[in-house]
């Protein structure tokens, strides 16, 4: 048995010329994983469009309908930061299904990875910060409603606070939200997660990893989750356009190994999503996103072997 990976072969939404956040990275990530021997094509699982009820388990029917139909008002579209298109509406819904499928596979196999996901700035009635529907929140609500889990820990290590996720679960004790993020970065107004760890600007590998180690093992012991949803955002990298931390490629890989080993060796299933990452050099960005898959493959072989 090999590590299950959820992929998005049609995860390409054409954007206007000059747009700085190309969607092609999702398809390219799958190609790189295969080319580098990290994964074999047989390991990949393809999601389908989600039922409307999944989206409305987190988001208001009015917002869901307006986005799906392309009738969202211009101000709301600007807040998202991505121009609407039918292709974008389709792929963002498939991303939701991808995270649900990743979570199901993690429960079945102990560890699974998505080649997309991590849209943690989406609130119940609006999108924000390039996030339209909150896949982490929807996956949590779907699994809880189906009785597959009763307690979830969201470990959000994107450089930006998971503000939408924090608001969605602020009154739901079944989901514990942990966000470790750069303090002086988007969003300007932070929300209250169950545990927020703000980091100083410019933090490098060793200090970052020591900080994470000071919280994660105790959190697992405290929460005892049936599932960990891990947002492995790579915008903590020193070369990221929108991040203000200073992790290296090595630091990112060490972070992924630290998170996954800490969870899996204690029997906590982990579903990984790739989170944010913004870089002009597509290949460098895709490599950073691949690090969680490389680490997961190593951890999976070790603990399944």
Written as six digits, the tokens of 8 are 């998005």
Please tell me which residue in 8, 59, 121, 237 is annotated as part of the active site: 121
| Whether 121 is catalytic | yes
Q: What gap in Å lies between CA 286 and CA 290, rounded to an integer?
A: 6
Written as six digits, the tokens of 139 are 């996956």
Q: What contacts 271, CB < 8 A, 6 or more positions away? A: 99, 102, 103, 105, 106, 112, 113, 114, 139, 227, 228, 229, 230
Q: What gap in Å lies between CA 64 and CA 92, rounded to an integer?
A: 12
CB 242 within 8 A of CB 125: no
Q: What gap in Å lies between CA 231 and CA 160, rounded to an integer?
A: 11
Q: Which residues are catalytic?
A: 121
């Amino acid at each position: 048995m090999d590590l299950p990976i959820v992929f998005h072969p049609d995860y390409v939404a054409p954007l206007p010329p000059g747009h700085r956040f190309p969607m092609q990275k999702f398809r390219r990530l799958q190609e790189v994983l295969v080319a580098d021997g990290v994964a074999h094509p047989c390991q990949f699982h393809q999601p389908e469009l989600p039922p409307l009820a999944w989206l409305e388990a987190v988001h208001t029917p009015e917002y869901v309908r307006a986005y799906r139909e392309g009738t969202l008002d211009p101000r709301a579209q600007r807040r998202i930061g991505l121009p609407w298109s039918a292709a974008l509406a389709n792929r963002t819904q498939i991303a939701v299904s991808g995270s649900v499928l990743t979570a199901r596979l993690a429960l079945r196999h102990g560890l699974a990875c998505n080649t997309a996901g991590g849209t943690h700035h989406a609130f119940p009635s609006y999108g924000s910060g390039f996030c339209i529907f909150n896949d982490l929140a929807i996956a949590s609500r779907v699994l809880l409603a189906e009785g597959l889990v009763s307690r979830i820990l969201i470990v959000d290590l994107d450089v930006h606070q998971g503000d939408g996720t924090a608001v969605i679960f602020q009154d739901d004790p079944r989901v514990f939200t942990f966000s470790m993020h750069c303090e002086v970065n988007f969003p300007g107004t932070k929300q209250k997660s169950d545990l927020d760890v703000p980091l100083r600007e410019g933090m490098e590998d060793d200090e970052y990893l020591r900080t994470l180690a000071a919280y994660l093992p105790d959190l697992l012991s405290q929460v005892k989750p049936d599932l960990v949803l891990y947002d492995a955002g790579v915008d903590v990298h020193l070369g990221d356009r929108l991040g203000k931390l200073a992790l290296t490629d090595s630091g990112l890989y060490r972070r992924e190994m630290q998170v996954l080993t800490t969870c899996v060796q204690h029997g906590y299933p982990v579903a990984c999503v790739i989170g944010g990452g913004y870089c002009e050099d597509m290949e460098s960005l895709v490599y950073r996103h691949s690090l969680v898959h490389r680490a997961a493959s190593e951890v999976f072989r070790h603990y399944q072997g």
